[in-house]
Amino acid sequence: MARRGTPEINAGSMADIAFLLLIFFLVTTTMDVDTGISRKLPEKQDPNIVPPVLKEKNVFEVNVNRNDEILVEGDTYMKVNDLRAAAIKFIDNGGGTAESLQKDKLTPCTWCGGDKDPASSDHPKKAIISLQSDRGTSYAMYISVQNELVGAYTDLRNKYANKKYGKDFKDLSRAEQKIIKTDIYPQIISEAEPTK
């Protein structure tokens, strides 16, 4: 009896099958990465803790009402487009003198490019941005305001990084970023409970 070898499987259509699968995965692939504004929520507070007393000049108050209008420092009506410049002016003011900052173990802000107005913030480490919105404020407006406030810090950090290291903030090493984040321009944005 003649032994016949097993017939070979025709692999010619393999490429077609692979192509079919390839096209399927090509179509279903989503390459986009999720982006967004990252924030850290404050930890739950002990109700008995008395909040520290802040000087009013060190607080930059931003109010957004239910008609999406912005009120800054309780008296200036502002458009979103101007918010960033106003925030930068406030943070970068650095109006504190050596004596007034001594009890907080700070030295006057030498890197600040602001007006040194004694009626505005003393030091970037003491400058607090307080954001109060209404429950009826639209999310779009809320994000725009958040974006501008975070943007103010980004601009200042970039300016400092360019002056000191000749690079943008995001191109610096972790250690250099950390110095700027904690000692030069710490981001202090406090959010109050929205008004009803």
- Which residues bind to other proteins, rule: CB under 8 A? 11, 14-15, 18-19, 21-22, 25-26, 28-31, 33-44, 64, 68, 80-81, 133-144, 146-148, 150-151, 154, 193-194
Q: By C-beta, is 9 or 98 nearer to other proteins?
A: 9
Q: Kindly give the interhelix angle for 80-91 and 139-164, rounded to the nearest 10 degrees.
A: 40
Q: By C-beta, is 22 or 104 nearer to other proteins?
A: 22
CB count within 10 Å of CB 85 equals 13
State in angstroms the smallest separation of the CB of 122 from other proteins. Answer: 25
In whole angstroms, give the CA distance from residue 43 to residue 140: 25
By the 8 A CB rule, do 189 and 150 touch?
Answer: yes
State in angstroms the smallest separation of the CB of 140 from other proteins. Answer: 4
State in angstroms the smallest separation of the CB of 13 from other proteins. Answer: 10
By the 8 A CB rule, do 106 and 96 touch?
Answer: yes
132 burial via Cβ count (<10 Å: 0-12, 13-18, 19+): middle
State in angstroms the smallest separation of the CB of 92 from other proteins. Answer: 17
| Residue 110 DSSP class | S
The number of C-alpha atoms within 13 Å of 50 and in the hemisphere containing its C-beta is 3
Q: By C-beta, is 14 or 104 nearer to other proteins?
A: 14
Rounded to the nearest angstrom, the gap between the alpha carbon of residue 47 and the centroid of all alpha carbons in its chain is 28
State in angstroms the smallest separation of the CB of 2 from other proteins. Answer: 31
Q: By C-beta, is 30 or 110 nearer to other proteins?
A: 30
Q: By C-beta, is 32 or 56 nearer to other proteins?
A: 32
